[in-house]
């Protein structure tokens, strides 16, 4: 009886040892899987972050302003944009441009409106929309009317902001941008970094002028 008892105790020890090994193996597998999952998620977060930062735009050339010389204020501006290097395509139809005047305390959010003729930019832009003429597009090269709404690599979009229409929309007095006043333009794509511009009206208002940055 004594020997049988010792044999049974040894069997119990073996079973217990196997159970411990099994539990440890399962636990290690869970930890390893969690580590791989965390690493994958971390990579996704980094990739998304890089994508958001790189999905911005950049300005090409000078920003041109148009002045009301009789009343001495800025009444329009034109700028041309393209994708920043390595940027992802941007849907301009979902891109908002915010224009604000810290001096006068006003701001407006403008939505996208496409125009097929560069000469219609000023008329197509209003107090709610910025007008876009596609200088180059890959969807239908040579035909601005055939451009889709996405700003892609090798494409250039000319934007017109109609300040005269904005002043009329706000319906307040003495809110026009005058010489030496600073104002802000923020291009806000649906994904990616906002592109902020701090601009200054020149000391002298001319029919056409380069805005100061």
Q: Which of 34-48, 54-68, 179-193 has the lowest mean pLDDT?
A: 34-48
Q: Which residues contact 118 (CB under 8 A, 6 or more apart)?
A: 133, 144, 158
CA 62/CA 46 separation, integer angstroms:
34
pLDDT at 46 over 70: no
The structure's pTM equals 0.74
Structure tokens belonging to residue 208: 């056409």
b/e code 31-45 from CB counts within 10 Å (16+ = b): eeeeeeeeeeeeeee
Calpha distance 112→120 (Å, rounded) = 14
- pLDDT score recorded for residue 85: 87
pLDDT at 48 (0 to 100): 39
Q: What is the DSSP letter of 82?
A: E
């Amino acid at each position: 009886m004594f020997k049988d008892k010792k044999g049974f105790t040894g069997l119990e020890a073996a079973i217990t040892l196997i159970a411990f090994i099994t539990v440890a193996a399962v636990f290690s597998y869970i930890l390893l899987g969690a580590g791989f999952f965390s690493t994958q998620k971390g990579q996704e977060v980094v990739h998304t972050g890089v994508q958001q930062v790189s999905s911005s735009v950049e300005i090409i050339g000078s920003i041109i302003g148009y002045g009301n010389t009789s009343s001495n204020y800025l009444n329009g501006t034109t700028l041309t944009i393209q994708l920043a290097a390595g940027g992802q395509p941007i849907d301009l139809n979902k891109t908002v441009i915010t224009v604000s005047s810290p001096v006068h305390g006003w701001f407006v959010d403008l939505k996208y409106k496409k125009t097929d003729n560069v000469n219609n930019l000023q008329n197509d832009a209003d107090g709610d929309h910025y007008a876009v003429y596609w200088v180059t597009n890959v969807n239908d090269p040579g035909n601005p009317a055939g451009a889709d709404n996405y700003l892609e690599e090798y494409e250039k979009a000319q934007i017109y902001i109609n300040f005269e229409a904005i002043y009329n929309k706000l319906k307040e007095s003495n809110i026009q941008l005058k010489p030496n006043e600073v104002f802000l333009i923020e291009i806000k794509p649906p994904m990616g970094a906002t592109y902020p511009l701090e601009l200054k009206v020149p000391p002298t208002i001319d029919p056409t002028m380069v805005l100061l940055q």
